[in-house]
Amino acid sequence: MNVTVQLGSTWPVLAPAVGALLVLLVDVARPRLGLPSPLLAALALGAGAVAAGPGTRQARGDADVAFCLDTGACLYRAGPLASGLQLLGLGAAAVVLALGWTQWRRTRGGSAVPVALFLAATAGVTAVPAAGDVGTLLIAVELATLPVVGLVALEQRARRVQVATGGAVALLTTSLVSFALLALGAGLWVLATGTGLLDAGAARAAVAEPRAASLLTLGAVLIVAGLGYKLSAAPFHAWTPVTYTAAPLPVTLYLAGVSKVAALGALVVLVLAVAPAATGAGVAIGFLAALSMTLGNALALRQDDTVRLLAWSAVAQAGWVLLPLTALSARAAQAAGGYLAVYVVATLLAFTVVAGVAHGGAGTTLAAHRALLHRRPLAAAGLRLALLTLAGL
């Protein structure tokens, strides 16, 4: 079987991946060169964004493809929605890099390790929406997650090291459980369809056989559950307030914004593949959406810390991101992508203000933001806009 590679189409993924490698090579080969790792990271993110931009203007049905088989199926397929999610992930990562620039430059042993982990995770985020088979999807999702565990643990303040380690362990444990569900769901998909390709035609063919249809529905539900962990959807949300408050603020912002792009990208890939067949997946998504919105909003009311408040807000927002996907259609996937874009922008803005207040020594409690309008009018206006947006107003 011949495979047409076309690496140029994968540049939104390759740019941060190559950037991570260059950061490590420069640090090893020229440790005294004086070229800051965050600068290399910024160039890599910019190159990825330039490559992803044209994909958003493609006609519906067109896609940038790579690793195509003789049958015409491709293991990498980035249509307009996938390219838009890639661009969103890279843009959000650039904001995280700007917030973490100073902190990562002061990391013991240099900034190469945290910046390389950051770029590796971003490469995973951009790979997820374009995955065309279950193997690529599993690897990309974990690549988007595991480096972030290291970033959570890389806390420089001695008094916060133990807390950060606990948050990293919570994220790692969640990731392992999530991967187990994803792997089991992927196995059932292959068993039901006879192929590892995430193809709507294969799902449609499986529906004709009752046993295969049942396996397909069960596999889709397990994959939805596994991705529910990544999206902070209830009842898979327990790690979110723990890790958000334990991690350094730039890493918390990465989890709240960039990582959610990977989770939704994976769900979109699944929805487009199972739309003709697995109606049970829509019911599972609807259940997660309702539970997340209810639980997240109720528990957010009890918080007195802005980071924990935004963590529970992320749980509630996960429900709104999931809600359109219950329709299991391409238009529903586009609606979910549009909502996620608004959520990510509002979350970036909110966390930027919270980080600025915390950097001034006031902390992250709600009391620290009292009279913010008088002290820092521009920051207060930004926070107000972000919170009103997250509230749906």
pLDDT in tens, 306-323: 888 888 888 999 889 889
**Residue 45: predicted pLDDT:** 94
Query: d(Cα 82, Cα 152) in Å, to the nearest integer?
Result: 27
Query: From the centroid of its chain, how far is CA 251?
Result: 12
In tens, the pLDDT along 151-176 reads 888 876 656 778 888 888 888 998 89
- Which residue has 């709240």 as its token pair? 256
In tens, the pLDDT along 5-22 reads 788 889 999 999 999 999
In the structure encoding, which two tokens stand for residue 392, read together? 């749906």
pLDDT at 357 over 80: yes
**Residue 106: predicted pLDDT:** 61
- Which residue has 């843009």 as its token pair? 91
Contact 82, 130 (CB under 8 A): yes
Q: Tell me which amino acid residue 121 is.
A: A
Q: Which stretch of DSSP H or E encloses residue 65? A: strand 64-69
**Residue 108: predicted pLDDT:** 56
Average pLDDT value for the chain: 85
User: What number is the average pLDDT over the span 263-290?
Assistant: 80
User: Poorest-confidence range of 250-254, 324-328, 362-366?
Assistant: 362-366
User: Poorest-confidence range of 50-59, 152-161, 207-216, 230-239?
Assistant: 152-161
**Residue 63: predicted pLDDT:** 83
**Residue 385: predicted pLDDT:** 92
**Residue 35: predicted pLDDT:** 61
Contact 263, 231 (CB under 8 A): yes
Q: How many CB atoms lie within 10 A of CB 185?
A: 23
Looking at per-residue pLDDT, the higher value among 111 and 373 belongs to 373
**Residue 8: predicted pLDDT:** 83
**Residue 36: predicted pLDDT:** 76
Query: d(Cα 295, Cα 298) in Å, to the nearest integer?
Result: 5
Looking at per-residue pLDDT, the higher value among 391 and 110 belongs to 391
- Report the percent of the chain where pLDDT is more than 90: 24
Residue ranges per structural domain of the chain: 1-130, 175-393
**Residue 158: predicted pLDDT:** 57
Q: Which stretch of DSSP H or E encloses residue 76? A: strand 74-78
**Residue 107: predicted pLDDT:** 59
**Residue 5: predicted pLDDT:** 77
**Residue 294: predicted pLDDT:** 92
Contact 30, 68 (CB under 8 A): no
Contact 119, 16 (CB under 8 A): yes
In tens, the pLDDT along 73-120 reads 888 988 899 999 999 999 999 999 988 877 776 655 567 888 999 999
User: What number is the average pLDDT over the span 128-141?
Assistant: 91
